[in-house]
Chains A and B, each alone.
Chain A
């Protein structure tokens, strides 16, 4: 399909166009925006979710009042439809009748209504925040599981030697679970890449393509019925991720 002008509205006219579809994609003015947004999206989401996930796990490891209730709440929002979460936050960040603006005004944080989902300064920030809030649960579960590998006895021995908590974290725990952590990182990156419901629902190609990530760009072409171009974008993405995956696995192998 990559080399054909394959249009959903006209199956009979499937012309061989060679590399023309590739030229169309690479010469599109949206291409660079999409690539930048995509990198920003994946890296930003991954780093923040990882850090926040680690923080939540460390806090949840210790027993405190209503710990069980808290865990149920944290895990439970994971099964609410991502699609609905996107819609709900979209409404809450609405300029006129959104709760966020109203609450911020009442608290005195802002004087004028902020255009959360219209202003380019805020849009990516809002979408990433919502995605972090929803997606961090997956990270929490994965990190929680990986941390179970660390033996209590080992930490006790180290603490008897006078090693502080911070050093225990960086020199013992992280080094000990490094391999599992690396594998987990790969799975999480795949998950971030495949989960785009929220950004799709919240933005739906708005702001004159300025907020597109690759999947939304692809869906846009799909809605136009242009499967030749869709295939090219898909092909580029798959090749990129396969190369990334192979390199990543090779690095892991070396580390091992």
Chain B
């Protein structure tokens, strides 16, 4: 309230100043503000767009340059010749295709398993009454604060004992465990929005618990589930530290580790790095063209998370 009061006073003072200094009417002042606001919007958006496009251009630009020319003092902004050496070398000298397949396998598997587990867990937590439900939610929220890399050392030792180091299954297993809580909190809000009546109607028609879950909740929450999958996809896609700890063998290597491998002690192989990123960006761009509208639509499903506060 104090902030709002300050803002209100600020606007009042601004308005009075405008009238006194410029001798203009209030309407004209507001029009001026709207005009200035419009200009700021256009400039801001333009600048943002410029940076994004420039970055894209620069990444693609590096792709066609040779390693020796990339790090030179006289910076070129236009290509004198298109060289595909980086692209050809990457596929000839490395198992890039396999690394990409590994990444997709890991990300999809993690996503599917996480959603499967989370669906059951949240269904139980939301629709079955028991004591301390609010406490469980708070505990889940607080667990987000615990940093994973504190336990990296112990985790590594434990994974060696189980024989889970250097295999995809090990990473998948650990990542599923890490992700579950966050997505439970997220889906919890989504499930809360499904009307009780819907469940009751389906149950009267003879549907059992599993039927209710898959024929009511999953169908009603489909956009929400897709969003959870996308969030999970992006998080898993970006995970580097865990990969560095758990993966060391080429055969099971994942793209991000390959990128990490292009960083040497005194130099970085920008050419190869750029090829990898451009290929991945292309894949992601195709995906995002389809799913960008679903993100907001899906998140909309879970907006009434404030219901949690009634339980506390």
Tell me, rounded to whole Å, the shortest Cβ–Cβ distance linking B94 to chain A. 17
Residues of B within 8 A of A238 (CB): 145-147, 150
Q: Please report the C-alpha to C-alpha distance between residue A87 and residue B284 in the assembled complex, in whole angstroms.
A: 19
**Counting CB contacts under 8 A, is A81 at the interface?**
yes
Tell me, rounded to whole Å, the shortest Cβ–Cβ distance linking B271 to chain A. 12
Contact mask for chain A residues 139-157; partner B; CB cutoff 8 A; 1 contact, 0 none: 0011011101100000000
Q: Please report the C-alpha to C-alpha distance between residue A234 and residue B154 in the assembled complex, in whole angstroms.
A: 14
Q: Please report the C-alpha to C-alpha distance between residue A8 and residue B154 in the assembled complex, in whole angstroms.
A: 10
Residues of A within 8 A of B289 (CB): 72
Contact A141 B146 (CB under 8 A): no
Per a CB cutoff under 8 Å, which of A80, A175, A219, A230 touches B277? Answer: A80
Q: Please report the C-alpha to C-alpha distance between residue A186 and residue B305 in the assembled complex, in whole angstroms.
A: 13
Which of B108-116, B203-211, B293-301 sits within the interface?
Answer: B293-301
Contact B259 A148 (CB under 8 A): no
Tell me, rounded to whole Å, the shortest Cβ–Cβ distance linking B279 to chain A. 12
Contact mask for chain A residues 1-36; partner B; CB cutoff 8 A; 1 contact, 0 none: 100000010000000000000000000000000000
**Counting CB contacts under 8 A, is A249 at the interface?**
yes
**Counting CB contacts under 8 A, is A63 at the interface?**
no
In B264-312, which residues have CB < 8 Å from any A CB? 268, 270, 273, 277, 280-281, 284-285, 288-289, 292, 295-296, 299-300, 303, 305-306, 309-310, 312
Which of B16-24, B40-48, B83-91 sits within the interface?
Answer: B40-48
Q: Please report the C-alpha to C-alpha distance between residue A7 and residue B36 in the assembled complex, in whole angstroms.
A: 60
Contact mask for chain A residues 150-182; partner B; CB cutoff 8 A; 1 contact, 0 none: 000000000000001010001100110001100
Interface size on A, residues (CB 8 A): 68
**Counting CB contacts under 8 A, is A241 at the interface?**
yes
Tell me, rounded to whole Å, the shortest Cβ–Cβ distance linking B191 to chain A. 16
Q: Please report the C-alpha to C-alpha distance between residue A215 and residue B59 in the assembled complex, in whole angstroms.
A: 29
Given contacts A222-B153, A252-B309, contact A81 B237 (CB under 8 A): yes
Which of B69-77, B161-169, B192-200, B212-220 sits within the interface?
Answer: B69-77
Q: Please report the C-alpha to C-alpha distance between residue A80 and residue B53 in the assembled complex, in whole angstroms.
A: 14
Given contacts A170-B4, A218-B150, contact A145 B296 (CB under 8 A): yes
Contact A84 B147 (CB under 8 A): no
**Counting CB contacts under 8 A, is B251 at the interface?**
no
Contact A253 B312 (CB under 8 A): yes
Q: Please report the C-alpha to C-alpha distance between residue A209 and residue B4 in the assembled complex, in whole angstroms.
A: 40
Q: Please report the C-alpha to C-alpha distance between residue A218 and residue B303 in the assembled complex, in whole angstroms.
A: 36
Majority DSSP secondary structure for residues of A touching B:
helix
**Counting CB contacts under 8 A, is A59 at the interface?**
yes
Residue of chain B at shortest CB distance from A99? B75
**Counting CB contacts under 8 A, is A242 at the interface?**
yes
Residue of chain B at shortest CB distance from A219? B149
Residues of B within 8 A of A148 (CB): 296, 300, 303
Contact A171 B4 (CB under 8 A): yes
Tell me, rounded to whole Å, the shortest Cβ–Cβ distance linking A112 to chain B. 15
> Can you list 26 A-B contacts with CB-CB less than 8 angstroms, sorted by A residue number?
A73-B52, A74-B48, A75-B295, A77-B52, A78-B234, A80-B280, A80-B284, A81-B238, A81-B240, A84-B259, A84-B273, A87-B268, A87-B273, A91-B268, A141-B299, A145-B299, A146-B303, A166-B11, A171-B4, A183-B306, A215-B147, A234-B147, A237-B145, A238-B145, A242-B145, A252-B309
19 additional contacts (CB under 8 A) given A97-B73, A242-B142: A8-B153, A59-B41, A59-B44, A71-B292, A75-B295, A76-B292, A87-B268, A88-B59, A91-B268, A97-B71, A141-B295, A148-B296, A149-B303, A170-B7, A180-B306, A193-B145, A215-B149, A218-B150, A245-B145
Chain B residues within 8 Å of A, Cβ to Cβ:
4, 7-8, 11, 30, 41, 44-45, 48-49, 51-53, 55, 58-59, 71-73, 75, 138, 141-142, 144-147, 149-150, 152-154, 234, 237-238, 240, 256, 259-260, 263, 268, 270, 273, 277, 280-281, 284-285, 288-289, 292, 295-296, 299-300, 303, 305-306, 309-310, 312
Chain A residues within 8 Å of B, Cβ to Cβ:
1, 8, 55-56, 59, 70-84, 87-88, 91-92, 96-97, 99, 102, 133, 141-142, 144-146, 148-149, 164, 166, 170-171, 174-175, 179-180, 183, 186, 190, 193-194, 197, 215, 218-219, 222, 227, 230-231, 234, 237-238, 241-242, 245-246, 249, 252-253, 256
Top 4 nearest A-B pairs (CB, nearest first) are A234-B150, A241-B145, A145-B299, A256-B309
